[in-house]
Every structure is written in structure tokens, then in C-alpha cells.
Amino acid sequence: MSDPLPPIRPDSDPLAERARIIRERNRMLALVLVGFVVLFFAITLVKVKF
Amino acid sequence: MSGAPIAPAVTHPPAPALPLPADWRDFFALTKPRVMSLVIFTGLCGLLAAPGHINPVLGFTTVLCIAVAAGGAAALNQWWEADIDALMKRTRERPIPAGRMDRTNARDFGVALSAAAVLVMGLAVGWLAAAILAVSVIYYALVYTVWLKPRTPQNIVIGGGAGAFPPMIGWVAVTGQITLMPVLLFLIIFCWTPPHFWALALFVQTDYAKAGIPMLPVVAGAAATRRQILLYSLVLAPLTLLPWWIGGTGALYGWVAAGLSGLFVALAFRVGLRQAGPDDAMKPEKQLFAYSVLYLFALFAALVADHLMLAR
């Protein structure tokens, strides 16, 4: 089960809310991609040693 | 009245409401993180209990690939079962039935995760482990979700195989071969799954019935389910002792397995030999379900502890 989604304030601008969600998603995607780069780099080092 | 005509008020049509895109938490929820934790744990235990050595980076990659593939399979499961999920209280707040995510997004997400996990596992760790990982995803997403679950009350029995693969994958990642020990670990989870899920199904059966899923309590009745829970528990108990009996583990695992399994069978007897009325609180069933989760964690932890002690 994931954390509950942050409540959408009734007075919040839907467009701003949409932009916030997309911005958070992009940040998460960037983090995952950076993680992959680090992992592949580490795997390459290990494989080259073998 | 003044002579100047009053211009009619200009009313703009409301801007078309853009549906909110799925939050990253929705994608995370698609992977069923709670189920994933058990998969990660058993996979890690298979890896740690296997004879031999694996580089920590490759060990981490193995567990990560198992977790990501399990998440991908879970996303595919939710893509396929979105209609059913909408009917059940336990699942109707999931991202697709709640309307927070497009169905095809979930499918693409699941395929991408599964394919990436298998590919990375093959390239980094080994193709035998990757092949078993691919089989486990196909088994869960196709054999269990699409084929068995809506068709037979034995869905849990055969579908349980999907959850039984992780320790085998962890083991094979280290040793590079399938031997009797990883097969036994597979069989232990395979036989643990029916009493675990049927105990749950006994106290949430109304929901499954509403969704038209032929769970054993819905189709065959509670009495038959209780008998089957007891039967599988009686098969499971000696099975957990086999790794010790064949010399694959030491006495520590053997004694812990005997104690844990003894309590499991005792709880299964309580469930198997009783009849519950319509307003029953189903306490023994809830206890068996809760204990079954603890049981698997403790059993595999004992397997690793035993291996670490023998390795000294």
C-alpha cells in the first residue's frame, strides 16, 4: 500500500495542481534514472574486474 | 430606462477540465509494495543461504531485479483486474478503479518494469536466473491472473507458484544451477500459499463473491476450505524439515522450522476443525493469516542464520 495521496485543497488551482504532480513525477523519474546510471556503472566495474 | 443599450454579459465557457495526471505514488501503488516486501525478503534469503559467493553489487542487482519484476507483474495484474478491483472494498481505491490512472499506462508500466528487470538480470547476473525471473512474471501475469484466477477455485494453489520463485532465483543467481535445495524452497512457499490465502478468503469471502472470483470458500464452501487449509498445512510442516533432513541446513534451521511449523499446524487445526456461524468474528482464521506471514519471514530468516553459522 502506498502513502495516501496529499489532499487536493478545494481552493487550489487545478492547473497549478497538475503542474505540481508533473513536476514531482519528473523529479522521481530523474532520481530513478540517476540510480540506474550509478547501478550500471557499478555493474560494469564488477564485470570488468572479473 | 436609459437610452444606452446594455451589452449582454459575455460568459466564457468554463475551461475544459484537464484530468489530473497520475501521481508517482500511484505508480508506486501499482507495484503492490506490501507484497513486494515478502518477495524481496524471500529472494534475499535464497541469495544469502545459497552456497558460494556473489559480489555485493550483483547481489543487490539480483534483489532489485526480483523486486522490479514483481512490481511489474503486480502492475499487469492490476491492469487486467481493474474491473474486478472496482467491485471490492479492499481494492477499489487502487489507482485504476479509483480513476487516477489510465489503464494502458498501467499495462505499459508493467511491461516496461518486467522487461527491464529480466534484461538487467540476464546481462548482469546470469541468463538462467533471468529465465526463471521471466517465467515467474509470465506465471503470475498470465497463468494466474488471466487464466486461473477467474476460472478455478484452485487458482491460489497453482498461482502460488508465482510467489514461490524468488528464493529459487536468489539461489540460482549465486550458484548458477538448479539443485534440490532451491526446489525445496520453492515447494515450501508453494504449499504455504493456499492456507495463507484461504485463511484470508474465509473472512473476506463476501467481497470475492461480489466480484465473481471463484475463491474456494465461495465455490466449495467454508467447510471444504477449512479441510484444505488443514491438508496443505500438514503437507507444509514436514516439507519445511526436508532441507535439514537432506543435509542442506544445520540443526538451528531444523529446530526453528519444527517449532514454527508445529504452531502453524496447531493454528490450522483450530481453523480446520471448527464451524463458524454467520456473525462469527473469525478470530482463528485471522490469527492463522497473521501468523502465516510471520511464519514465512521467521522460517527464511532461520535459513539464513543457519547458513551464516555453518559458514563460520
pLDDT in tens, B188-199: 999 999 999 899
Kindly state the greatest CA–CA separation across chain A.
59
Cα→Cα distances B205→B48, B216, B222, Å: 37, 9, 9
Contacts of B71 (CB under 8 A, 6+ apart): B30, B31, B32, B33, B36, B113
| Average pLDDT of the residues of chain A | 82
Query: Residues with Cβ < 8 Å from B292, sequence gap 6 or more?
Result: B192, B195, B196, B199, B264
pLDDT at B152 over 70: yes
> A14–B29: do the CB atoms touch at under 8 Å?
no
Q: Higher pLDDT residue, B192 or B12?
A: B192
Chain A residues with CB inside 8 Å of B64's CB? 39
Q: Which of A10-14, B74-78, B84-88, B295-299 has the lowest mean pLDDT?
A: A10-14
DSSP three-state, residue B271: helix
pLDDT digits (tens, 9 = 90+) for A1-20: 444 555 555 567 888 888 99
A14/B17 touch (CB, cutoff 8 Å), yes or no: yes
Size of interface A-B (CB pairs under 8 A): 48
- The reported pLDDT for the residue numbered B1 is 42
What's the 3-state SS for B114-127?
HHHHHHHHHHHCCH
Report d(CA A9, CA B89) in Å as an integer: 25
Task: State residue B203's pLDDT score.
Answer: 84
For B3, half-sphere exposure in the C-beta direction (CA atoms, 13 angstrom radius) is 0
Share of chain B above pLDDT 70, in %: 93
Name the least confident of B150-159, B161-170, B208-217: B208-217
pLDDT band at residue B171, thresholds of 50, 70 and 90? Answer: very high
For residue B56, the chain A residue with the least C-alpha distance is A46
Residue B167 confidence (pLDDT): 96
Between B229 and B211, the higher pLDDT residue: B229
What's the average model confidence in pLDDT over B72-76? 95
Q: Which one of A24, A43, A46 has the shortest CB-CB distance to B24?
A: A24
Q: What's residue A1's pLDDT?
A: 41
Say yes or no to pLDDT of B255 above 90.
yes
Separation in Å, CA of A1 to nearest CA in chain B: 6
B57–A5 C-beta distance less than 8 A: no
A18 with B23: Cβ contact below 8 A:
no
Interface test with B, best of A2, A32, A37, A48 (most B CBs within 10 A): A2
Do A2 and B28 make contact, defined as CB atoms within 8 angstroms? yes
ipTM: 0.75
